[in-house]
A and B are shown apart, each in its own frame.
Chain A
Amino acid sequence: MMQKRKSGKVAGRAARALAGLGLALIVSVGGSLARADVTSEDEPQAISESGASMEESVPALTPEAPSLPEVTTNVASSTAQATNEHDAHAPVDYWSLLLVLVLATFIGIGVIGRVSRLLHTPLMSLTNAISAIAVVGSIVVTGADYPLEIRMFGAVALFASMTNIVSGFLITDRMLRMFKQKRGGAKQ
Chain B
Amino acid sequence: MTHHIVQLSYVLAAILFIFSLYWMNDPKTARRGVFAGIFAMFLAVVSTWIQPGIIHHDWILVAIVLGFVVGIPLAMVPLTAVPQRTALSHAFGGLAAGLVGAAKYYLWSGEGSEQLTTFRMTAIVAEVILGFLTLTGSLLAAGKLQEIKWIPQRPVTYPLQNVSNILLLLAAVGLGALLVMDPTGPWAKFAFPGIIVLAMIFGVLLIIPIGGADMPTVISILNSYAGLAAVAMGFVLDNKLLIVAGALDGSSGLILSIIMCRAMNRSFTNVLFGAFGQVTAAKADGEERVYKSETIEGAAQVLEQAELVVIIPGYGMAVAQAQNRVRELYDQLVKRGITVKFAIHPVAGRMPGHMNVLLADADIPYNDLVEMDEINSDMPQCDVALVIGANDVVNPAARYDKSTPIYGMPIINADKAKTVFAIKRSKNPGFAGIDNELYFQDNTFMLFGDAKAVVGDLAKQLSGGSGMH
Per CB-CB distance, the 10 closest pairs between chain A and chain B, nearest first, are A162-B67, A166-B71, A120-B353, A108-B251, A170-B75, A131-B249, A143-B54, A104-B247, A167-B74, A120-B352
- In the complex the two chains form, what is the Cα distance from A155 to B227 in whole Å? 20
Interface residues on A, range: 35 or more
Q: Is the CB of B365 within 8 A of A183?
A: yes
Number of interface residues of B (CB under 8 A): 130
Q: For chain B, what secondary structure do more than half of its interface residues adopt (helix, strand, loop), or is it mixed? A: helix
A24, CB-defined interface residue at 8 Å:
no
Q: Is the CB of A123 within 8 A of B22?
A: no
B250 / chain A contacts, CB cutoff of 8 Å: 105, 108
A134 / chain B contacts, CB cutoff of 8 Å: 93, 96-97, 100, 230, 233, 242, 246
B247: nearest residue on chain A (CB-CB)?
A104
- In the complex the two chains form, what is the Cα distance from A85 to B51 in whole Å? 12
Q: Which of B368-376, B385-393, B434-442, B457-465 contacts A (4 or more CB under 8 A)?
A: B368-376
B166, CB-defined interface residue at 8 Å:
no
Query: When A and B form their complex, what is the total count of cross-chain residue pairs whose Cβ atoms lie within 8 Å?
Result: 440
* Other-chain contact of A168, B55, B89, B95, B368 (Cβ < 8 Å): B89
- In the complex the two chains form, what is the Cα distance from A99 to B227 in whole Å? 17
B154, CB-defined interface residue at 8 Å:
no
Quote the shortest CB–CB distance from B314 to chain A (angstroms): 16
A45, CB-defined interface residue at 8 Å:
no
- In the complex the two chains form, what is the Cα distance from A164 to B110 in whole Å? 31
Q: Is the CB of A123 within 8 A of B234?
A: no
Q: Is the CB of A33 within 8 A of B243?
A: no
Q: Which A70-86 residues sit within 8 Å CB-CB of chain B?
A: 72, 75-76, 78-86
Q: Is the CB of A130 within 8 A of B37?
A: yes
Q: Is the CB of B54 within 8 A of A144?
A: yes
- Please judge, given known A-B contacts A10-B259, A132-B93, A162-B66, whether A143 and B55 are in contact too, CB under 8 Å: yes
Q: Is the CB of B99 within 8 A of A163?
A: no
Could you give, for residues 34-56 of chain B, a 1 whenever the CB lies within 8 Å of some chain A CB and a 0 otherwise?
10011011001100110101111
B66 / chain A contacts, CB cutoff of 8 Å: 159, 162-163
30 CB-based A-B contacts, threshold 8 Å: A10-B255, A68-B18, A76-B14, A82-B7, A83-B240, A84-B3, A101-B243, A104-B248, A108-B249, A109-B251, A117-B371, A118-B27, A121-B353, A127-B249, A130-B20, A131-B246, A134-B242, A135-B45, A135-B48, A138-B99, A138-B100, A143-B55, A144-B55, A153-B102, A162-B64, A166-B72, A166-B75, A169-B38, A170-B75, A171-B77
